Amino acid sequence: MALTPRERWKQAQSVIPGGVNSPVRAMRAVGLDEPLFIDSGQGAYFTTADGERYLDWVQSWGPLIFGHADPEVVAAVQAAAAKGTTFGAATQLEVDLAAELVDAVPSLEKVRLVSSGTEAAMSAVRLARGATRRDRIIKFAGNYHGHADALLVSAGSGLATLGIPSSPGVPSGAAADTIVVPYNDITAVAEAVARYGEGLAAILVEPVAGNMGVVPPEPGFLDALRKLCTASGALLVFDEVITGFRVARGGAQERFGVTPDLTILGKIVGGGLPLAAFGGRAELMDQLAPAGAIYQAGTLSGNPLATAAGLTVVRRLRDPGVYAELERKGARLEAGLREATAGHEISLTRVGAMSTLFFNPGPVRNWTEVATSDTERYAALFRHLLSRGIYIAPSQFEATMLSTAHSDADIDRTVEAVAEFLGD
């Protein structure tokens, strides 16, 4: 006897905290009594456990650049699984994937594969601190780099002050070396570097912010970070977990022409399986055990199923036609939404295949400005679109993730449903 949605949600909450394995999935920010439970995905669509089919603009938060259940990815994972799911030893597959990432991403000479973006970011910070023998890091309000202690930090009082834990369980000592400054604010960053420069290990940034909604870098912002790091001896670390292979094959560092010292990758590089990576110049990466003294490890790092999926995807992304198609579709979605939202207090942002519709008159350049968005209106749009079979991010502060599987008809239908919601 199938459970009713309410019974299923009750059961989930009885055995999993909050009923979900990641908070945003509870869909509380958009007022659902119980979240969607997904049973299967097909291209741009997924089908829920209750048999309802939705056009999916979240695509698991970014990994699925070719959409759900891509036949080549499924076949590669099936073939890999038949040979064994994990060995805890070196395989040719992980070497091939590492080589593919090094070929694609400008800053990479060597790369270490891990199992999540959090693990990659945490490890990159440890490497930066170990390599520079400095402890302080600068991050930006509204940027998210996973849930490692040093990165769950909110801005201290005032600008360029040491961070305070943004979650219980994060010891003040872990947050004390993290300085939080406003995104796109070069003056604030320069002040922080002037104040902490000698002790600064790294500046960590989402080169296109995706975790406060999509907020593009202002002209010159990334260049200025590059110069500040070079002058102070701190390492510039790009968190490209979302932007990697999404905004260009070489990520935001290729698109904007700024090369960091270290890069964090995730989502697309794992083809939808648990795989992430961090990398940079060989002289930095060779300081990691066992080549060097900085310890980092993982039982399932470079897992054969994940590397098979990741390789299948990143090899196909050698085709520039894929990015031309993503740009064409991204531009179609943006143009349609601009027309549908003209005259409303709505701001649209887009970089390639990632975008956000903010209920905000704008500008939206940093967390403070984005935080004034009308989240209730966003929640109402979410529910309206859901009633039309369209699933957008269940939070104003996330990104719409376009895939090659989204058709022009899918785009046009979404634009029409937004226009209908706005009642023009």
Binding residues for ligand KE4, per CB under 6 A? 22, 24, 61, 116-118, 121, 144-146, 206, 210-211, 239, 241-242, 266, 276, 398
C-beta closer to ligand KE4: residue 273 or 326: 273
C-beta closer to ligand KE4: residue 5 or 274: 274
Give the C-alpha separation, 382 to 185, whole Å.
Answer: 31
State the residue number with the nearest CB to ligand KE4.
117
267 flagged as catalytic: yes
State the nearest-atom distance from the C-beta of 23 to ligand KE4, in Å: 7
C-beta closer to ligand KE4: residue 145 or 255: 145
Give the C-alpha separation, 283 to 291, whole Å.
Answer: 11
C-beta closer to ligand KE4: residue 18 or 220: 18
State the nearest-atom distance from the C-beta of 348 to ligand KE4, in Å: 19
C-beta closer to ligand KE4: residue 188 or 212: 212
Tell me if 262 sits within 8 A of 237, measured CB to CB.
Answer: yes
C-beta closer to ligand KE4: residue 136 or 145: 145
Catalytic residue, candidates 56, 267, 378, 391: 267
Tell me if 162 sits within 8 A of 156, measured CB to CB.
Answer: yes
State the nearest-atom distance from the C-beta of 99 to ligand KE4, in Å: 23
State the nearest-atom distance from the C-beta of 423 to ligand KE4, in Å: 30
Which candidate, 73, 145, 150, places its Cα nearest to that of 314?
73
State the nearest-atom distance from the C-beta of 339 to ligand KE4, in Å: 28
Give the C-alpha separation, 118 to 97, whole Å.
Answer: 20
State the nearest-atom distance from the C-beta of 184 to ligand KE4, in Å: 16
Q: Which residues on neighbouring strands pair with residue 401, listed in sequence order?
A: 354
Catalytic residue, candidates 144, 183, 196, 323: 144
Catalytic residue, candidates 70, 185, 239, 410: 239
45 flagged as catalytic: no
Catalytic positions are: 144, 239, 267
